[in-house]
């Protein structure tokens, strides 16, 4: 029996009129107390039911971070000096990575892994754009990016800006980086994750450095299917 069935039975049991004023007042008081209790029980049941709902598991291996980086974008230049932003690649799935050409390990490894991803994608690789944003505009000139980045795969593109544009792009995507001085100059400590961005900018996924080529291919193919 539901709470409202009990409530209906109680309503029937209450006399509509009574010659005893005290008894009628007590009856009305009892009615309102029961009514309030039933409302509270019904509301609590609804809240508990809502809390008990299970979220569907994500179909992606990478983590959806679109809610965290709503409106994230960059305003940088490609090696030819042409101004670029996410909108220039809206008809492709974007793989975005922040690094620098003098990076001794993480950056070349990531670019090599992405080259493997492109080979595994086959013809679908034409619908994917890998973008390498330098965090070291002091040394990474447009000419250097034009040589270094496509050496891993012909369609890969390097992007750069001045110190302010670089900092704004990094901040927009939650990327951290810090210069570390040494005897030969400096290196950069920086975030190493990849951003996988669907067509028209949604969804935005964050893939860890060690996700692996096969799982990246899986996520990219899913983005190609679902983000049109």
Whole-angstrom distance, CA of residue 134 vs CA of residue 97: 9
Q: What is the pLDDT of residue 31?
A: 40
Average pLDDT over residues 150-174: 97
pLDDT given at position 210 = 85
At residue 74, φ and ψ (nearest 5 deg) are -140, 155
Is the CB of residue 158 less than 8 Å from the CB of residue 78? yes
pLDDT value at 199 more than 80? yes
Q: How many alpha carbons lie under 13 Å from residue 13 in its C-beta half-sphere?
A: 10
In this structure, the number of other CB atoms found within 10 A of the CB of residue 178 comes to: 9
* pLDDT band, residue 116 (cuts 50/70/90): very high
Whole-prediction pTM value?
Answer: 0.75
- What's the pLDDT tens digit per position in 166-191? 999 999 999 999 999 999 899 999 99
What is the distance between the alpha carbons of residues 136 and 163, in angstroms, rounded to a whole number? 8
Confidence of residue 13 (pLDDT cuts 50, 70, 90): very low
Q: Is the per-residue pLDDT at 22 higher than 50?
A: no
């Amino acid at each position: 029996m539901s709470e409202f069935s009990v409530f209906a039975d109680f309503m029937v049991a209450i006399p509509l009129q009574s010659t005893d004023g005290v008894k009628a007042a007590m009856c009305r008081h009892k009615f309102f107390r029961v009514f309030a209790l039933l409302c509270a029980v019904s509301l609590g049941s609804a809240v508990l039911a809502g809390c008990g709902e299970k979220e569907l598991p994500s179909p992606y291996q990478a983590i959806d971070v679109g809610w965290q980086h709503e409106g994230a974008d960059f305003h940088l230049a490609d090696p030819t000096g042409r101004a670029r932003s996410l909108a220039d690649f809206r008809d492709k799935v974007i793989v975005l990575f922040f690094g620098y050409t003098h990076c001794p390990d993480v950056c070349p490894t990531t670019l090599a892994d992405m080259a493997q991803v492109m080979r595994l994608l086959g013809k679908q690789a034409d619908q994917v754009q890998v973008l390498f944003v330098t965090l070291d505009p002091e040394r990474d000139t447009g000419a250097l990016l034009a040589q270094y980045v496509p050496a891993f795969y012909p369609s890969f593109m390097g992007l750069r800006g001045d110190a302010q544009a670089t900092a704004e792009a990094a901040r927009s995507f939650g990327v951290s980086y810090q210069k570390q001085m040494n005897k030969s100059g400096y290196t950069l400590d920086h975030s190493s994750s990849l951003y996988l961005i669907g067509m028209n900018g949604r969804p935005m996924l964050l893939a860890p450095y060690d996700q692996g080529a096969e799982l990246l291919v899986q996520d990219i193919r899913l983005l190609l299917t679902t983000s049109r």
